[in-house]
Amino acid sequence: MLVQEAAATAVAYRWRWLALVALLIAEAMNLLDATIVTVAAPVIHNDFGGAGSDIQWFSAAYTLPFAVLLIPGGRLGDLAGRRRMFAAGVAAFALASVACACATGPGMLIGTRAIQGAAAALIIPQTIGLIRSMFDGAELAKAMGSIGPVMGLAAICGPVLGAVLTHADLFGASWRAAFLVNVPLAAVVLAVVPALRESRSSRPVRLDLSGTALAMLGTGLVVYPLIQGNTAGWPAWSWAALGAGVVALVAFGHQQRRRAGRGRSALIEPSLFRGRAFPAALATSTLFFAAMNGLTVVIVLQVQLGLGADVLAAGLTLLPWSAAMAAGSWVCGTRLFPRYGARVMFAGLAALLAGVICAIAAYHAARTGSHGWGLPVALALGGLGNGLFTVPFFTTALSRVRLHETGSAAGLLNAVQQFGGTLGTALLGTAFLHFFSRAGITPGVAALDGAEVAFWTAAALIVATAVTAALMNVRDSH
């Protein structure tokens, strides 16, 4: 009898860890898809043709619905069951990936990318809750600690995998293979879903459909003109849309406050905004990830459009950035942050700013035909700063959040991160394409001009990030 019980316990133990692997694959699938498409986007545009702004939409069409629907996705898990929503999200993500691979034009691809983003918003909010339902104590800490290294590995593999798959042109698939790689990953995850333990909120939860609609309207009206405005010559409608987007987002804030005041479920916990620290963390996340996502897009565009290099070269160009970011995250999490705390954030921002300025110098030197190790070293320094910043940032941002606010705070931070990434793609990508599309200038020189302007814009965003990060540590008087 004891032998049978021990055997059953061992089987249950193995199934729990197998289920954790499936959850981590699903988490990594989201990051892989985003980075793979960033590298493949110029090849897709070259295949389809169309406006230059389509390159930005191939990424933004994914991150925008992902950002807006993250919190409603979490609420759906609370309401209908996290395992059920997780499985539905993974299945929808796989089907949308196949649709992306079968796209016949930029419009169809952008639409199916939006469906992918919405599906990812169902997947990601459920993973933490499912992990917490399966583990406790030391095992929970070990399971949660595995997320960071897996994300770091995905960050390294994404650009290289996207470049290799696109360059290899397997069976004539070219960039389409970058989407089809999600299908076997999703199949593995779905096969293990029965091992997941169902969980849902013990408190009654209702969806805030009007709040979701306002958030989607506001973010869409802000991002759309930033991407399309340059192509259209910045007509009056683009500025009107920006203003309307800001008004919609302000209305969203008031709607959330009124809804919570009436005792109804809101997307955002209003008490998070009573102090100064958490709003400063949201501003910091927006600025930082706008700079990071925008920079990676510009690096890829400069290599492929400016140098005329292939997609494999673009993927390898990002390798120093990704590898240093993963190493910086590991060193910070295991050594630096436990000893020095939130101060590591500012060391990371300093390293990142130094890397950006060194990259600007490398681009400037390239005008004279000077090439060498300048850009790879600059990107490695910037990636290191990225890794040193992110670990203490998220820990500090959530350090003063109360228990009942944790779910809303974590979801909002993730949503703002994705929105910042979309904003950065629009802002820095538009700056690059504006200079690249000038008439009478060779593509190589125009791309260097565009990259320099985009990197200076990122430098300004990083300085602003340091200011808002400092406000995160200011104690509120009340």
Domain that holds residue 420: 266-478
Based on the domain organization, do 250 and 293 belong to the same domain?
no
Q: Are both 408 and 454 inside the same structural domain?
A: yes
Residue located via tokens 């939409």? 57
pLDDT in tens, 320-366: 888 888 888 888 877 888 888 888 999 999 999 999 999 999 998 88
Which has the closest alpha carbon to 265: 150, 374, 391, 407? 407
Nearest to 195 by CA among 13, 420, 322: 13
Residue 475 above 70 pLDDT? no
pLDDT score at 478: 41
Kindly report the length of the chain. 478
Domain's final residue, options 165, 196, 227: 196
Does residue 280 share a domain with residue 227? no
Q: What is the largest CA-CA distance in the chain?
A: 84
pTM of the predicted structure, to 2 decimals: 0.79
Confidence band, pLDDT 50/70/90 cuts, at residue 97:
very high
Position with higher pLDDT, 173 vs 286: 286
Per-residue pLDDT, 392: 85
Q: Are residues 147 and 187 in the same domain?
A: yes
Q: Residue 457: what pLDDT?
A: 95
Domain boundary among 259, 276, 294: 259
**How many domains, in total, are found in the chain?**
3
Q: Does residue 228 share a domain with residue 163? A: no
- Is residue 14 over pLDDT 50? yes
Residue in this structure with the two tokens 């629009």, named with its chain if needed: 426
Element (H, E) at 299: helix 277-301
Cα three-residue angle 431-432-435, rounded to 5 degrees: 90
> Same structural domain for residues 177 and 273?
no
What share of the chain has pLDDT > 70, as a percent? 88
Name the DSSP class of 441: S
Backbone angles phi, psi at 268, to 5 degrees: -120, 135
The pLDDT value recorded for residue 201 is 64
Interatomic CA distance for residues 130 and 85, integer angstroms: 11
**Higher pLDDT among residues 99 and 473, named by residue:** 99
Q: How many helices (H) and strands (E) does the chain have?
A: 18, 0
Mean pLDDT of 289-296: 91
Residue 203 located in a structural domain:
no
Residue 345 domain-assigned (yes or no): yes
